[in-house]
């Protein structure tokens, strides 16, 4: 079947462009690429390269203006992404799959095979490592600017059929640059980047679709909005249909009390509704694709409507009126939660959030702290409101075996012995606190970053004995005490609080000296 698809595509291409596809790759060349990537090409990808090994340098771009990479170009691009995929920091970068749970929500993946590139680090690729609902061999976008990743087609042959059909139907634009170089774009807009075009296309390609019906539905919905919502839609999107397809919606401080119009936004992945007057979350029930939801600063009490949001990973509820946290126990994918400054007292339901990794929470009693300490999946924890907490209340912290980052606000501590079991802790931040004895920190073999913001530590000089500390942020006085003792091994590039002109010069001169000797 794929050979027939390629044949028909070439016939159609030859009616519009001079021949531009390269000669075939050899079986040996494909096997060498497969060996380095530790993969096996899907059959349609293998046959495509056995037919044509990419396109000529001045080709028009097989994929709607984006070039078809040769195997040599493919492996060169893949090597760059291989290095990135192995770095821990890439996990911190936002990524969204459309549809949800089809593409693994990562910035980079060793098993995304680039078959096209825009020259700026963005690609059309073949996904050999899909998420739960995805298909091996699905065609996707990924790259430096591709935060939202789409399933463009279920299989490569489907994408090639779509290119053929687009040429036959004339739904494209020829972009002429020089006499010996032309390109083309998808649709009627000249020079439209295909990776931009997919954001408003009905995907995956070749699935049954009725864009006219979608437009009529969006227009009818828009005609029923009040003036306030009408102005919001017009400010955000070119037309109602584009608004309905938005993947990220920023609606901060819009004086919203009613969010029923959002029912049309079934594809939204990140929704920011902070600082409004919203009480009823019922309209969000159908947003099953939601990954991030920000509700801070709203008078919300009832979380039951969001129980159906099975793909929700980030939820921010700071400064709301939420009393009952039980609905959170049903959000199995929840990874990040902010429940600072809410009236809820019982934190026991949080123990059922088995994938929760990041938590920001206000603690008013020892029982709440105990419940938090039983969330064994936590990697990053921010505690505030600890005025009533005693040192013995902190002992359950030993249960947090995966903790890598800890921020504690507003506490008085005789010592830090409760941290001795935190052998994975890398970042520790104290804010507006008093610490008498910090000796226990020296025993934390992975502690690399310490910040004391508005915080005193009586014997701060003990930090000199830390073999792992390489970054410190604190007051000028703390910096001045430690800078000579640490003998240049610690980064003091951040000062917390104000400095006089003389102090700032001392600090600046020190940094300049460190830069020159590094």
Task: With beta carbons less than 8 A apart as the criterion, state whether 174 and 163 touch.
Answer: no
DSSP at 285: T
Q: Give the pLDDT confidence of 374-426 residue by residue, as tens digits.
A: 999 999 999 999 888 888 899 998 899 999 999 999 999 999 999 999 999 99
> 455: which 2 tokens?
């915080």
Residue pointed to by tokens 């409760």? 418
Task: With beta carbons less than 8 A apart as the criterion, state whether 443 and 464 touch.
Answer: no
Task: With beta carbons less than 8 A apart as the criterion, state whether 72 and 66 touch.
Answer: no
Give the pLDDT of the chain (518 residues) as one tens digit per residue.
899 999 999 999 999 899 999 999 999 999 999 999 999 999 999 999 999 999 999 899 999 999 999 999 999 999 999 989 887 777 778 899 988 889 999 999 999 999 999 999 999 999 999 999 999 999 999 999 999 999 999 999 999 999 999 999 999 998 776 666 788 999 888 888 999 999 878 889 887 544 554 778 889 999 999 999 999 999 999 899 889 988 899 999 999 999 999 999 988 999 999 999 999 999 999 898 899 999 999 999 999 999 989 889 999 999 999 999 999 999 989 999 999 999 999 999 999 999 999 999 999 999 999 999 999 999 999 999 988 888 889 999 889 999 999 999 999 999 999 999 999 999 999 999 999 999 999 999 999 999 999 999 999 999 999 999 999 999 999 999 999 898 778 999 999 999 999 999 999 999 998 887 76
Distances (CA, A) of 254 to 229, 274, 284, 382: 10, 9, 17, 29
Task: With beta carbons less than 8 A apart as the criterion, state whether 298 and 273 touch.
Answer: yes
pTM for the model stands at 0.82
Q: Encode 425-445 in three state secondary structure.
A: CCEEEEECCEEEECHHHHHCC
Domains of the chain (ranges, CATH numbers): 2-200 (3.40.1580.10)
DSSP at 142: E
> 358: which 2 tokens?
């990041």
Task: With beta carbons less than 8 A apart as the criterion, state whether 404 and 380 touch.
Answer: yes
First to last CA, the chain: 61
Bridge-partner residues for 175, per DSSP? Answer: 183
Report the run of H or E that residue 116 belongs to, with start and end: strand 112-117
In angstroms, the CA 473 to CA 491 distance is 8
208, 210, 214, 215: CA torsion to nearest 10: 150
> 372: which 2 tokens?
């938090």
Nearest CA-CA partner of 363 in 343, 383, 379: 383
- For residue 99, whether the previous peptide bond is cis, meaning omega lies within 30 degrees of 0, is yes
Cα 137 → chain centroid: 23
């Amino acid at each position: 079947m794929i050979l027939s698809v390629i044949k028909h595509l070439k016939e159609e291409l030859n009616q519009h462009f001079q021949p531009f596809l390269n000669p075939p790759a050899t079986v040996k060349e494909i096997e060498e690429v497969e060996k380095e990537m530790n993969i096996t090409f899907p059959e349609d990808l293998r046959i495509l390269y056995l037919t044509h090994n990419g396109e000529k340098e001045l080709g028009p771009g097989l994929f709607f203006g984006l070039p078809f990479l040769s195997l040599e170009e493919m492996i060169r691009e893949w090597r760059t992404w291989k290095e990135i995929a192995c770095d821990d920091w890439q996990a911190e970068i936002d990524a969204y799959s459309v549809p949800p749970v089809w593409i693994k929500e990562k910035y980079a993946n060793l098993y995304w095979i680039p078959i096209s590139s825009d020259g700026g680090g963005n690609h059309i690729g073949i996904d050999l490592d899909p998420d739960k609902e995805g298909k091996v061999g699905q065609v996707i976008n990924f790259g430096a600017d591709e935060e939202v990743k789409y399933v463009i087609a279920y299989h490569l042959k489907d994408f090639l059929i779509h290119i053929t059909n687009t040429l036959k139907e004339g739904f494209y634009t020829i972009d002429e640059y020089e006499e010996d170089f032309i390109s083309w774009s998808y649709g009627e807009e000249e020079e439209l980047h295909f990776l931009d075009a997919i954001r408003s296309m009905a995907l995956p390609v070749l699935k049954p679709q009725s864009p006219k019906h979608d437009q009529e539905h969006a227009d009818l919905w828009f005609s029923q909005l009040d003036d306030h919502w009408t102005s919001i839609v017009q400010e955000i999107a070119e037309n109602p249909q584009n608004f309905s397809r938005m993947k990220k919606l920023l609606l901060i401080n819009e004086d919203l009390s009613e969010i029923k119009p959002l029912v049309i936004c079934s594809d939204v992945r990140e929704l920011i509704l902070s600082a409004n007057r919203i009480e009823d979350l019922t309209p969000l029930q159908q947003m099953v694709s939601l990954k991030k939801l920000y509700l801070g600063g709203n008078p919300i009490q009832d979380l039951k409507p969001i129980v159906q949001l099975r793909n929700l990973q980030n939820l921010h509820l700071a400064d709301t009126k939420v009393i009952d946290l039980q609905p959170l126990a049903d959000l199995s994918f929840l990874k990040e939660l902010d429940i600072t400054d809410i009236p809820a007292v019982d934190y026991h339901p949080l123990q059922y959030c088995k994938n929760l990794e990041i938590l920001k929470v206000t603690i008013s009693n020892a029982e709440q702290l105990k419940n938090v300490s039983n969330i064994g999946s936590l990697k990053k924890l921010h505690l505030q409101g600890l005025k009533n907490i005693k040192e013995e209340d902190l002992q359950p912290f030993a249960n947090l075996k995966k903790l890598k980052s800890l921020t504690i606000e507003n506490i008085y501590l005789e010592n830090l012995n409760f941290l001795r079991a935190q052998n994975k802790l890398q970042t520790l931040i104290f804010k507006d606190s008093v610490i008498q004895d910090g000796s226990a920190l020296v025993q934390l073999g992975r502690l690399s970053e310490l910040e004391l913001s508005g915080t005193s530590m009586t014997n701060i000089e003990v930090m000199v004995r830390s073999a792992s500390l390489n970054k410190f942020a604190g007051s000028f006085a703390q910096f001045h005490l430690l800078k000579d003792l640490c003998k240049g091994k610690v980064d003091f590039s951040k000062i917390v609080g104000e400095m006089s002109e003389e102090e700032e010069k001392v600090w600046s001169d020190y940094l300049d000296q460190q830069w020159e000797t590094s």
